[in-house]
Amino acid sequence: MRDLLMIPGPVDVDADVLQALSAPVPGHLDPGFIATFGRALKRLREVSLAPGAQPFVVSGSGTLAMELAVANLIEPGDRALVVNTGYFSDRMAHILERHGAKVTHVRAEAVGGAPDVARVEAELRGGGFKLMTVTHVDTSTAVLAPVEPLVKAAREHGVLAVVDGVCATAGEAFHQDAWGADVYLTASQKAVGVPPGLALLTVSPRALAAWRARKAPVASVYADWAEWLPVMEAYESGKPAYFATPPTSLVCALDVSLGQILAEGMEARFERHRRMARAFRAAWSALGLRPVPTSEAVAANTLSAVYYPDGVDASLVGRVKAQGVAIAGGLHPEIKTRYFRVGHMNRVSAGDVLVTVGAIERALHAAGHRAAAAGTAVAAAQAALAG
């Protein structure tokens, strides 16, 4: 029997998504696939709540999605502001610098925090930035950035806003068009509910205009929107097109998963993720554990990052796996050996929450951590789910 997969991605996927993957591989010019790809593009726009945006679906990882944004919007010498909440904010800065940007960071005061919006606004008022990046949820810290006011502040100052939604899209509330984000980027393997392999973006008309106004061609052929835009436009209009062969089976799986997400309803889905997260937070509190996010206001709903209690180390991850549940160790370099992470996104149910909490509670007890009576954490999670 396989372990319950509760890491922060890849996530467990629905049986219908797996069935789409197991079907005979369609050709990329097959009429049925053209219709499927076109529908998936339309659905991606709906999931991002971005009716005015241009969707891109490209074979690659979330890191490629980051590069697809940066490579097309940054030219050497452009200034970029990085709202930094952890490991993946640092990765975005690295990509920006590789493409010639002059990067300014606004960092949280400590690991697990989010920069104050007023500090970011002060930097934006200084002028000169072409682009601001925000990691919606940093997978290394489980920090949820205050993305709505940040994006709106960038818009007010004429700065393009790029939001990394890899660990957030389809799990955390986000309204791309209403808030004014220029690029929302993600990957297939987290709350979108598909195996790894797809880089996904929804790009505003303002960002496309900035790209078209470039003075120099995009340095990367594969990342150039000029190569992909005609393909996306063609498939959405029901016509074949070619630049590089799309991962046809993954696109079919994406179409199924996006359809399921939209059938659930975006607001209902956001609320379900909040409910699961509240149950986990209740369990951590009952166990006397300290989350990495410094306050509930900056705690993500798609995953938890939790410090080990005194006397317990990273062997806890293996102890939980022995209970039949896979969780993850730390990632942020400053605290990597001091905490563990639990993913709770996509199709995670109340039953999954209770099984996971029970496994962690038993593993902690076996490791010598007895801050609460056996069953206390499961009861706390159950009460939160019922509330």
Per the annotation, binding residues for substrate are 341
Contact (Cβ atoms closer than 8 angstroms) between residue 45 and residue 53: yes
Peptide bond into 10 cis (omega under 30): yes
DSSP secondary structure letters along 243-287: SS---HHHHHHHHHHHHHHHHH-HHHHHHHHHHHHHHHHHHHHHT
With tokens 């940007």, the residue in question is 101
Query: Is 38 strand, coil or helix?
Result: helix
Classified as helix, coil or strand, 383 is: helix
At 238, is the secondary structure helix, strand, or coil?
Answer: coil
C-beta atoms surrounding 3 within 10 Å: 16
Kindly tell me the burial class for residue 102, based on how many C-beta atoms sit within 10 Å of its own C-beta (0-12, 13-18, 19 or more).
middle
For the chain, give percent helix, strand, coil, nearest 5: 45, 15, 40
Output DSSP code: residue 291: B
Residue ranges of the binding site: 341
Amino acid at 220: S
